[in-house]
Amino acid sequence: MSLLGLVWANLFRKRTRTVLTLLSVMIAFLLFALLQAVSVAFDGGVEVDGTNRLVVGGKYSQIDQLPYSQKQQILSLDGVDKITHTSWFGGEYQDPKNFFAKFPVDPESYFEVYSELDLEPAGALERFARERTAAVVDISLAQEYGWEVGDVIPIQGTIYPKNDGTRLWEFELVGTFSENGEGSDFPLFLFHFEYFNEATLFGADQVGNWTLTIDDVERADEIANQIDALFENSSDPTRTTTEDEANRQFARQLGDMGFITTMIMSAVFFTIILLTGNTMSQALRERIPELAVLKTLGFTDSTVLFLVLGEALILCVLGGALGAGLAMFMGPGMSAALEGVFGSFEVTPDIFVIALGLSAAVGLLIGLLPALTAQRLAIVDAFRRG
Partner 1 sequence: MTAAVVCRGLEKTYVKGREQVPVLTGINLEIEQGDFLALMGPSGSGKTTLLNLIGGLDHPTGGEIEVEGQSLGGMSNKALARWRSENVGFIFQFYNLLPVLNAQRNVELPLLLTKLSRKQRQANAETALEIVGLADRARHKPGELSGGQQQRVAIARALVADPRLMVCDEPTGDLDRDTADEILELLQMLNADHGKTIIMVTHDPRAADHAKRTLHMDKGKLVTAGALA
Query: Which residues are near partner 1 by CB under 8 A?
Result: 1-3, 5-6, 9-10, 12-13, 289-290, 293-303, 378-380
Residue type, 235: S
Least distance to partner 1, CB of residue 273, Å: 25
Q: Which of 27, 213, 165, 184 lies closest to 103 in space, CA to CA?
A: 184
Residue 259, classified by CB atoms within 10 Å of its CB into exposed (0-12), middle (13-18) or buried (19+), is exposed
Nearer to partner 1, 113 or 314 (CB): 314
Are 127 and 171 spatial neighbours (Cβ–Cβ below 8 Å)? no
Nearer to partner 1, 112 or 290 (CB): 290
CB 35 to partner 1: min, Å: 36
CB of 1 to partner 1, least distance (A): 5
Name the residue among 68, 77, 147 with its Cα closest to residue 109.
68
Name the minimum Å distance from CB 376 to partner 1.
10
Q: At what angle do helices 15-44 and 301-342 cross, to 10 degrees?
A: 40
Specify whether the CB–CB gap between 293 and 377 falls below 8 A.
Answer: no
Half-sphere exposure at residue 297, Cβ-oriented, CA atoms within 13 angstroms: 9
Nearer to partner 1, 4 or 264 (CB): 4
Q: Given the complex with partner 1, which of 97 and 376 has the nearer CB atom?
A: 376
Residue 279 CB, shortest distance to partner 1, in Å, is 16
Task: Give 243 or 311: the residue with its C-beta nearer to partner 1.
Answer: 311
Nearer to partner 1, 255 or 386 (CB): 386
Q: Which is nearer to partner 1, 275 or 293 (CB)?
A: 293
Closest approach of partner 1 to the CB of residue 3, in Å: 6
CB of 343 to partner 1, least distance (A): 50
CB-based contacts of 206, cutoff 8 Å, min separation 6: 65, 66, 67, 68, 87
